[in-house]
Amino acid sequence: MSRSDAPTPATPSRRGVLAAGLLGLTVPALGSCARFTGNYSSAESLRFWSLFSGGDGVLLVDILDTIGPTVGAVHSTVLEWGPPYYTKLAMASTGGRGPDLAILHLSRVPGYAPGGLLEPFDLDLLAEFGVHPEDFDQELWSRGVFDGEQRAIPMDTHPFICFYRREPLDAVGMLTTDGVLRPFDGPEDFLASLDELRGSTGETPLSFGHINDDAMAWRLFWSLMNQQGTRFELGEGVADIDVDGVESVMTFLGQLFDGERALGNLQPAAAEASFSNGRSAMHFNGEWELTTFRDAGVPDLAASPFPAVLGEPAGAADSHSFVLPAQLAADPAKRRQAHQFVAEFLKASITWAEAGHIPAYSPITASPEYAELEPQSSYVQAADSAALDPQAWFTGSGSEFQREAGFPTQSAMLGGDPAQAAADLVAYCESRAAQPNPTRGGAR
């Protein structure tokens, strides 16, 4: 299964491994699953690291085949998703032995750039290859900036969205004439609609899985928290959080996962099966599960941005981005090739959209070819309300933070006291914010 934001496996903490590496201590070898494409001579090829496996990996190979004649030989290595990938990338960059180009979730830039692990892109060189800052959403683009320089180039947005089957939702008036989710007038309206949907179908209307994948609970919480617009700022030594706002989200989650509107104790695979088999008409998940539901033959499959039920539109999201890992002596020819690779990949990212991801390069999403993609074109607006993690060194996709922050949210979903869940989440965030970034101090 292709999964851009897969469950985080049990591994040594990122802080511990990074700190050990920076101190020159012995770190156990990390397992990885590698696939190589192009010329195997790294002295002659552009060395490119990514974490794309499954269906994403197939599309990656397709794009490499397409752009290969233009950019030249590429030695592409696919490493295990999550902490193994990020630890290996950090260790290589710390020693100045990073690959020529790599993929990094945009939310992880605050954890890598301050330690000197990422080199800046040459925007004039990118412009020479036809890619300009104005070709991107400016808020997304700005997340790749550190110390006034562009350290990451967004490749896509992969948001948390709502999948659904049109017929049962249309029967109870939950869709617009265009077949997308209608706006909801607050949480009461949304919950009442689910009650009506349950009465119409006789089934639990919404499915969502988070057991044994704790980061999924965080994504749901973060989507709703951002809709309220209440304070939730994290950084090194900073934890400015509206506790009442957190509690209101936890309260809503308890109402949503009441055993009738939605079950609070499902694993992701069980929730996906419930939707695929027609036992639920709606399903919250990342857009990366689009291929799962297509392969399952879900009839009348549709998708919309995550519903705005607590305020303004917002949905948890992240962005795969291109970065230039630190090298002791970067080859100017390889740097030029890396910039050309980024530009050509972005121009070919209509292929990447097939997996459900929203290309960050706006000429693609504005194209007639993209408009013909369904349901991708129905949730493209999710990129405009993408809520990336708070900008802290310890947050972001594949981080320990998402897993740990998911625990209090799960408590609220399972019927726990919302005030206690809010207090536990805030306490955890404060404890993490009090810890210094272990990479700070230079990569060399």
pLDDT tens profile 166-201: 999 999 999 999 889 999 999 999 999 999 999 999
pLDDT of 43: 58
Higher pLDDT, 274 or 25: 274
- Confidence at residue 185, expressed as pLDDT on a 0 to 100 scale: 96
Distance CA(52)–CA(44), nearest Å, equals: 23
Please check the confidence at residue 41 and state whether its pLDDT lies above 50: no
Q: Which residue has the higher pLDDT, 16 or 44?
A: 44
Strand partners, 88: none
Query: What percent of the chain is predicted at pLDDT more than 70?
Result: 89
Q: Tell me, what's the pLDDT at 55?
A: 87
What percentage of the chain has pLDDT greater than the value 90?
85
pTM to 2 decimals? 0.88
Site of tokens 């985080």: 8
Q: Which of 124, 439, 163 is nearest to 282 (CA)?
A: 163
Residue type (1 letter), 136:
F
Helix (H) or strand (E) holding 78: strand 74-78
Residue 36 pLDDT grade (very low, low, confident, very high; cuts 50, 70, 90): very low
Using pLDDT thresholds of 50, 70 and 90, give the confidence band for residue 438.
Answer: confident
In whole angstroms, what is the distance from residue 86 CA to residue 93 CA?
10
Could you tell me which residue, 298 or 9, shows the higher pLDDT?
298
Q: Which amino acid is at 410?
A: Q
Per-residue pLDDT at 424 exceeds 50: yes
Average pLDDT, rounded, for the chain:
90
Residue 71: phi and psi, rounded to 5, are -90, -15
- Is the confidence at residue 314, as pLDDT, over 80? yes
Amino acid 272: pLDDT: 98
Between CA 407 and CA 418, with CA 412 as vertex, the angle to 5 degrees is 115
Q: What is the pLDDT of residues 318-370, one digit of tens each?
A: 999 999 999 998 999 999 999 999 999 999 999 999 999 999 999 999 999 99
Look at residues 131, 78, 153, 121 and name the one whose alpha carbon lies nearest to residue 330. Answer: 121
Show Cβ contacts of residue 127 under 8 Å, excluding neighbours closer than 6 positions: none
User: Given this model, what pLDDT does residue 2 score?
Assistant: 40
Distance between CA atoms of 219 and 225, rounded to whole angstroms? 10
Mean pLDDT for the stretch of residues 14-43: 34
**What φ, ψ does residue 55 adopt, rounded to 5°?**
-60, -35
> Does pLDDT of 412 surpass 90?
yes
Handedness of CA 338, 102, 48, 61 (dihedral sign): negative
Taken in order of first residue, the domains within the chain and their CATH numbers are 14-157+318-387 (3.40.190.10), 160-316+391-433 (3.40.190.10)
Distances, alpha carbon 161 to alpha carbons 44, 220, 267, 289, in Å:
42, 10, 18, 10
Q: Which candidate, 282, 35, 70, places its Cα nearest to that of 170?
A: 282
Residue 12 has pLDDT above 60, yes or no: no
Q: Are the CB atoms for 51 and 333 separated by under 8 Å? A: no
**pLDDT at residue 439 in the model:** 67
Cβ distance 355 to 59 under 8 Å? yes
